[in-house]
């Protein structure tokens, strides 16, 4: 039987369900293992270019869309091409991909991504590459 009490209970349950979706249903698809691998692989770059000694998502993503972190810069796009799957979780495979991408040409004339990293410069530009 449909009573006022039942209607209120359904309404409260609906509001709670909707609020849980809003709180947990964001677009964030963080890849913390990528950041960890980059910081471990390039500690000197992290010390020089990082925040508190740690590199941020801006190594692979453009800062132009800070809220979404959806678009990759040229380094991030090259790195993604070296990974076997979209959300790689195997740390060794991530580090292997980082090594492979070092030899690719960067947007800086005559320099590879590895040359820039060795020089203590961030390898990617701030331009959206996708």
Give per-residue pLDDT as tens, 26-75.
Answer: 444 567 899 999 999 999 999 998 888 889 888 888 877 655 667 889 99
Print burial letters for 13-46: b (CB count within 10 Å at least 16), e (below 16): eeeeeeeeeeeeeeeeeebebbbebbbebbeebb
pTM: 0.71
Q: Which two tokens stand for residue 38?
A: 């980059």
Mean pLDDT over 4-23 rounds to: 66
Domain boundaries, the chain: 30-118
């Amino acid at each position: 039987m449909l009573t006022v009490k039942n209607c209120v209970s359904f309404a409260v349950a609906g509001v709670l369900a909707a609020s849980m979706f809003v709180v947990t249903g964001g677009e964030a698809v963080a890849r913390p293992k990528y950041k960890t691998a980059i910081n471990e692989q390039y500690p000197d770059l992290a010390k020089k270019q990082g925040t508190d000694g740690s590199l941020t998502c801006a190594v692979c993503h453009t800062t132009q869309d800070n809220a979404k972190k959806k678009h990759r810069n040229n380094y991030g796009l090259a790195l993604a091409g070296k990974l076997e799957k979209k959300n790689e979780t195997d740390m060794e495979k991530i580090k292997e991909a980082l090594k492979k991408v070092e030899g690719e040409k960067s947007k800086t004339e005559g320099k590879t991504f590895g040359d820039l990293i060795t020089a203590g410069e961030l390898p990617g530009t701030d331009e959206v590459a996708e």
